[in-house]
Amino acid sequence: MGFHDRIFDLLDERALTRSELRDFCFLLFGEENFDGVPDPSAEWAVFLRCISDLVTREDFQWNPIKKKLAPWIDLKKLNRMYGGGSSCTIM
């Protein structure tokens, strides 16, 4: 029962690659919303802008670490970590 994808196992094991990040976002936001989202390895700025648009369409979710409502993805952290190109923070 439930849904299983290897990407969810990787979240707490190591930083996602850019390709895995795209796969994760595809699962998070749904295939129907992901048409036209580019590969983050090739077009990071456009990918980030597309993810930003998707994040703003979603309701905030409870963040148990910060103990407050927050967006699905912290775009500033994501860009800080991926803009230079090494890893990913999701929350």
Question: What are 10-27's pLDDT values in tens digits?
Answer: 888 999 999 999 999 999
- Predicted pLDDT of residue 86: 43
Name the pTM for this structure. Answer: 0.81
66: exposed, middle or buried (Cβ count in 10 Å: 0-12, 13-18, 19+):
exposed
pLDDT at 41: 94
pLDDT band at 2 (very low <50, low <70, confident <90, very high): low
Task: Name the DSSP class of 33.
Answer: G
Q: What's the DSSP call for residue 70?
A: E
pLDDT tens for residues 35-87?
Answer: 999 999 999 999 999 999 999 999 999 999 999 999 999 999 999 989 874 44
- Domain ranges in the chain? 6-82
Q: How many CB atoms lie within 10 A of CB 72?
A: 18
Angle between helices 44-57 and 18-29 (to 10 degrees): 20
